[in-house]
Amino acid sequence: MSKHGDSAEQLFRDGYNCSQAVLLAFSDVTGLDDDTAAKLASSFGGGLGRMREVCGAVSGAAMVLGLVKGYSDSKDSNAKKEHYRLIQDFAARFKEKNGSIICRELLSGVKTTHDGVPEARTDAYYKKRPCPLLVRDAAEILDEMMKTVSLFKGT
């Protein structure tokens, strides 16, 4: 268990989408205020606007990694290569733990719709979905990476 994992799961249970929950959980690391973080991540819930593509928890984690270890110089091919390697490492860890990084695959067996209307967050909603655990997993993997690949230490 991790502080960020607890926070991400609680934020999801409070009604934030999966991407928002992960990005908001790391506000102490990213320096983003909650309003900006929530708006930035708002489009990525439900696998990008409920289209069930890349899991929003994965997208939120990628935003955290981009904010703390991303590159800004378009000509710095080494920085780009290193950053993509970091994203691929995160994705591989998430996939190893959960079997996929694709929302519709992670929700296999859960009846979902692809319209733009979010489902009500009821007890039944939480019982049939792995999402609270997926946001926790994403945050815990980021915490693990912080220790093992010198993330968030200015290196």
pLDDT tens digit sequence for 83-141: 999 999 999 999 999 999 999 999 987 766 666 677 777 777 777 789 999 999 999 99
Q: pLDDT value at position 151?
A: 58
Task: Count CB-CB contacts under 10 A for residue 7.
Answer: 20
Interatomic CA distance for residues 4 and 9, integer angstroms: 9
Mean pLDDT, residues 10-16: 96
Q: pLDDT value at position 109?
A: 77
Give me the amino acid identity at 23: L
pLDDT digits (tens, 9 = 90+) for 40-97: 999 999 999 989 999 999 999 999 999 999 999 999 999 999 999 999 999 999 999 9
The owner of tokens 């997926």 is 134
141: which residues sit within 8 A by CB, 6+ positions away?
Answer: 61, 90, 93, 94, 97
3: which residues sit within 8 A by CB, 6+ positions away?
Answer: 143
Task: Locate 128 and state its tokens.
Answer: 């049939």
